[in-house]
Structure 1
Amino acid sequence: MNEEFAGLPYRPCVGVMLVNAAGRVFVGKRIDNKEGDAWQMPQGGIDDGEELHPAAFRELEEETGVSPDLVTVIAESREELLYDLPDFLLGKMWGGKYRGQRQKWLLMRFKGEDTDIQLDAHEPAEFCEWKWLEPELLPEMIVPFKKRVYRQVLDEFRDLI
């Protein structure tokens, strides 16, 4: 990590592992990634004063169009998971105020239909396409600096999927 940014805090964030009845995980292809295939699960910042579950429902609905009545919360990660931004993103993301993210993850079961997923539910859209993925493939789909976190999320939730 670039020493100039080492003293910065981590951005508080929530992530959602959304699984369907078949045990597959929702991933969306990031609309803003110039390097090509960057897929991820829904995630985003927790606003000041916002609680974890409301933040997770808000992020899920903004990014996928899936409303809270279409999911059941199954589990919450035991601890926050941290990742550092790579040097080429430091000082550029989130106004340069953070060195990375500290994420609390929720596992949710999707009770709706695929037609309930609307990537354009909120402007600006985060994803340009989506799919259901076998859980074991998750770490291969994510950008390199998030792979460790995705492996930890998968390891923690695997038996509940």
Structure 2
Amino acid sequence: MMNEKRYRPNVAAIIVSHKYPQKVEFLIALRNDVDNAWQFPQGGIDEGESPQSALFRELKEEIGTDEIEIIAEYPTWISYDFPKVIAKKMYPYDGQKQKYFLVRLKPCAKIDLKTKEPEFREYKFVPYKDLFKHITYFKRPIYKKVIDFFKKEGYI
């Protein structure tokens, strides 16, 4: 009998700057624990927590602010398997099941990566044309799928 894969419930934030919609720039952050791994902020959903609640909590924990406005939500969950180099660290999970949100930083938001348990060492805003030059390889197909959906729907 084959073991069923275990996916960690997770939220991910595609954050655009407060200049949206006049200027579309995406916030990406460089992980502390993986070399040259840029990504969108994301994190696990706690037992009994809604995806939206997890989104606000995770943003506060990872980038020091939850001063955002939700623009849109990807309509379905997206699953992916961890690459072997990450799978050992994430045991007992084989991958993640993610809910994506497109969010806008409020003009008053102050990003501070020096949080209680810092996950990122650097962040920057990049235009779409430069986004995939930075994003870690195994997240690119998912990010492209989600952003293409938001583009098709007219949000980006």
Counterpart in the other structure of 1:31:
32
- Distance in 2 (CA, whole Å) between partners of 1:148 and 1:58 is 26
Deviation at 1:139, TM superposition (A): 2.9
Q: How does 1:50-89 map to 2 (within 5 A)?
A: 50-67=49-66, 70-89=67-86
1:84 corresponds to which letter in structure 2?
D
Identity %: 38
Considering fraction of residues, name the structure with more helix. Answer: 1
Counterpart in the other structure of 1:40:
39
1:27 corresponds to which letter in structure 2?
I
Which of residues 16, 21, 32 is equivalent to 2:13?
Answer: 16
Counterpart in the other structure of 1:129:
122
Which of residues 138, 142, 153 is equivalent to 1:149?
Answer: 142
Deviation at 1:74, TM superposition (A): 0.6
Question: Once superposed, what is the RMSD of the aligned Cα atoms?
Answer: 1.7
- Distance in 1 (CA, whole Å) between partners of 2:130 and 2:76 is 23
| Structure 1 runs of 4+ with >4 Å offset | none
Greater CA deviation, 81-90 or 16-25?
Answer: 81-90
SS of the residue corresponding to residue 82 of structure 1 reads: strand
1:152 corresponds to which letter in structure 2?
K
1:44 corresponds to which letter in structure 2?
G
Q: TM-score, normalised by structure 2?
A: 0.88
Counterpart in the other structure of 2:103:
108
CA contact (8 A) 1:135 1:154 kept: no
- Superposed CA deviations along residues 107-158 of structure 1, whole A, max 9, x for unmatched, are 11111257x11011x2210110110011243333222221111111211122
Q: TM-score, normalised by structure 1?
A: 0.85
Counterpart in the other structure of 1:93:
89
- Distance in 2 (CA, whole Å) between partners of 1:62 and 1:153 is 23
Any gaps of 5 or more consecutive residues in structure 2?
none
